[in-house]
Amino acid sequence: MVNNMGGSTLSNPALIEGSPFMKQLPGRPNKILLMKLFKFDVLNQNPLGMVLSNVKYSEHWFLIIPFLAGMHEVSVEQVVELLKEFTQQPPSADAVLEKLKPLDVEQIEVAVDEYLYQSLKQHPRFRGKMKQKKTLLAIDLHDEPYYGESQSEYIITGKRKEGTNRFFRFATAYICEDGYRYNLGVKMVKKGDKVAEIALKMIEQAQHLVKIGLVVLDGGFYDTNLVKELDRRGIRFLIRGSMNEPAKRLVRENNLQSLKEGEGKFFKHTMRCDEPGRRCEHEVRLLICRRYGELTVLATNRGSRREVEEMIAVFNSRFGIESSYRDGRRFRCRTTSNRDNFRAAMFFVGIILQNFLTLFLSASSSEGRTPPDAHRMIHILVLRTVLCFYPPI
């Protein structure tokens, strides 16, 4: 745990004044208390797994700078210039990046996952209640465009978008509870990784913390081996399917173009995998429905006619992942680096900041109350999740 945090500088509200991070908060929050909470809840846990010893500068700078860059959506270099207004000797941008250099992607993932786990475990909404009721787990894949020449194992090729067909790909897992979406796990995808293995690992990780009622996944996880294994384990799933030729045939033969918004119809369907060494087939139920004006295919191991509207609503709620992810993408340090570990760290900084905001905004409604204004939330969080676990500020 980091002890030398330089609280007076970190608590200066001018550090975050006008930042996109602050614009996400309702009302007029007490910025000093917010930053003190951030110091104890995030920075004290060192969520990026940096090795912070035997350094010239106070250790807290090497943690503060990447997160301030994420809050302001600027580069490390720009944050260092900002800090010169508050302290005489902030470390250089190169010194900050050098602290990340020894870490590999897997080390950063372990540190981030541990932080996410502990932040949920200690949160008033979940403390002692995590497995009392079933919850929805959502898993998604996100592509970050890459325009360089690196041949790294973390550069994934895919369908061309935003001017490139090369990407850094990330998997994220969220639990959806009472309208809030809480980050639970992250992974940077490598060449050769199987989506089934990624999803199953995230599900197993989540089962240590919550009771899963339904797993919702987007089209990147439409995989025969995955649905077969989920069925074998008795896990209910809802996955966006493919509008392939069999699905198009069902649309034509059943006149599904006439479906109105929110309407749909179930069909039995056999999925097949023809990859060498992974050949298998498995029967699922396809729901072809109209969402946002377009026909969508959903695959599930549950469902009946009366559940059509419910399943569409559940899958639509999964797109909270995408909005949360966009927030995570926004709260990210800007960089042109092609280092795998640095790109991973900057993506995860955005995820951690989004998670902190979600926990912050939901803290006071753990007993079903309407959330009060932001400064009261800060007081509640300080009392219930900081002072109980750390020395006084």
DSSP string, 16-79: TTT-HHHHTS-S---HHHHHHHHHHHTGGG-TT-----S-SS-THHHHHHHHHHHHHT--HHHH
**Residue 159 CB neighbour total at 10 angstroms:** 7
Both tokens assigned to 113:
């996952």
Q: What integer pLDDT is reported at residue 191 of this predicted model?
A: 93
Q: Are 374 and 26 in contact (CB under 8 A)?
A: yes
Spell out a b/e string for 256-272, using b for 16 or more CB atoms within 10 Å of the CB, else e. Answer: beebeeeebebbebebe
Q: What integer pLDDT is reported at residue 121 of this predicted model?
A: 78
Q: What integer pLDDT is reported at residue 156 of this predicted model?
A: 92
**CA–CA gap between residue 171 and residue 105 (Å, rounded):** 13
Helical H runs in the chain? Answer: 7-10, 20-23, 31-41, 60-72, 76-83, 93-100, 105-121, 195-207, 224-232, 245-253, 308-330, 340-362, 374-381
User: In the beta sheet, which residues pair with residue 266?
Assistant: 287
Q: Are 37 and 386 in contact (CB under 8 A)?
A: yes
Both tokens assigned to 171:
């998997």
* Pairing label, strands 237-240, 264-273: unpaired
Spell out a b/e string for 214-244, using b for 16 or more CB atoms within 10 Å of the CB, else e. Answer: bbbbbbbbbbbbbbbbbeeeebbbbbbbebe
pTM of the predicted model over 0.75? yes
Q: What integer pLDDT is reported at residue 96 of this predicted model?
A: 84
- Residues of the chain under the 70 pLDDT cut: 1-14, 18, 24-37, 39-41, 43-44, 52-59, 87-88, 124-131, 304-306, 317-330, 363-393
Spell out a b/e string for 284-311, using b for 16 or more CB atoms within 10 Å of the CB, else e. Answer: bbbbbbbbeeebbbbbbbebeeeebeeb
User: In the beta sheet, which residues pair with residue 296?
Assistant: 289
Instruction: Give the pLDDT confidence of 285-328 residue by residue, as tens digits.
Output: 999 999 888 999 999 998 766 688 888 888 876 655 445 545 44
Residues 6+ apart with CB under 8 A from 351: 112, 172, 183, 186, 328
Q: What integer pLDDT is reported at residue 33 of this predicted model?
A: 59
Instruction: Give the pLDDT confidence of 13-51 residue by residue, as tens digits.
Output: 667 776 777 776 666 555 665 666 676 667 667 777 777
Q: What integer pLDDT is reported at residue 360 of this predicted model?
A: 73
Q: Is 356 exposed, middle or buried (0-12, 13-18, 19+ CB in 10 A)?
A: buried
**CA–CA gap between residue 250 and residue 268 (Å, rounded):** 11
User: In the beta sheet, which residues pair with residue 287?
Assistant: 266, 298
